[in-house]
């Protein structure tokens, strides 16, 4: 969540728009941290998007859409990989951003299945706040076992594998 995933998604979608492609963006309705209708990254470089209740709703996209962006994919249901396959089979380019692991270091929601079927996977890493190494873990600073804890920067910090496993 500090790694620039949404920024990278927005960068790719803006390039598609510059190339005059029709772009549509979706995100799960559960992600309401900043704004109801925009994919908002941490530097507030935002792109308009459609919040949807479930992944199947993405299939009701505009008929002329050529590129679909999906943000916060880890919060979607397990049908998202099949939805992406259906879109890709129609010739639509699908670009998905999401957190690959939850706070306990477990694969997050539909992300592992998505990574398996994707042509290309880019892992973007934050910087470990303890030692400065590339960080791929989200260390939760508050005591809760709930998988989803919205509240962002106060509740999590990026850590490398070593610091995630050895430091309090
Ligand atoms: Zn570290």
Residues 70-86: tens digit of each pLDDT: 999 999 999 999 999 99
Q: Is residue 27 part of a domain?
A: yes
Q: Is residue 109 part of a domain?
A: yes
Higher-confidence position of 5 and 144: 5
Domain count, the chain: 1
What number of helices (H) and strands (E) belong to the chain?
4, 10
Q: Is residue 72 part of a domain?
A: yes
Q: pTM of the full predicted structure?
A: 0.85
Collapsing DSSP states into helix, strand and coil, what is residue 16?
helix
Rounded to the nearest angstrom, the distance between the alpha carbon of 25 and the centre of ligand 1 is 34
Rounded to the nearest angstrom, the distance between the alpha carbon of 164 and the centre of ligand 1 is 7
Q: Is residue 154 part of a domain?
A: no
**Measured CA distances, 135 to 75, 93, 105, 153 (Å):** 21, 29, 12, 15
Share of the chain above pLDDT 90, in %: 71
Rounded to the nearest angstrom, the distance between the alpha carbon of 150 and the centre of ligand 1 is 24
Q: Which of 36, 72, 78, 82 is catalytic?
A: 72
Q: Is the pLDDT of residue 44 over 50?
A: no
Instruction: Give catalytic status of residue 72 as yes or no.
Output: yes
CATH code, domain with 46? 3.40.50.300
């Amino acid at each position: 969540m500090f790694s620039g995933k949404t920024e990278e998604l927005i960068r790719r979608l803006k390039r598609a728009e510059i190339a005059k492609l029709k772009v549509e963006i979706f995100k799960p309705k559960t992600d309401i941290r900043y704004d109801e209708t925009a994919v908002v990254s941490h530097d507030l470089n935002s792109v308009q998007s459609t919040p949807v209740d479930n992944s199947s709703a993405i299939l009701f996209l505009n008929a002329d859409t050529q590129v679909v962006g999906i943000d916060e994919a880890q919060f979607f249901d397990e049908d998202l990989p099949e939805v992406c396959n259906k879109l890709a089979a129609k010739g639509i380019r699908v670009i998905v951003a999401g957190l690959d692991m939850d706070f306990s270091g477990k694969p997050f929601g539909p992300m592992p299945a998505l990574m398996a079927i994707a042509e290309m996977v880019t892992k973007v890493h934050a910087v470990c706040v303890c030692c400065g190494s590339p960080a791929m873990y989200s260390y939760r600073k508050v005591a809760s076992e709930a998988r989803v804890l919205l509240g962002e920067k106060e509740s999590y910090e990026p850590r490398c594998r070593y610091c995630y496993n050895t430091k309090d």
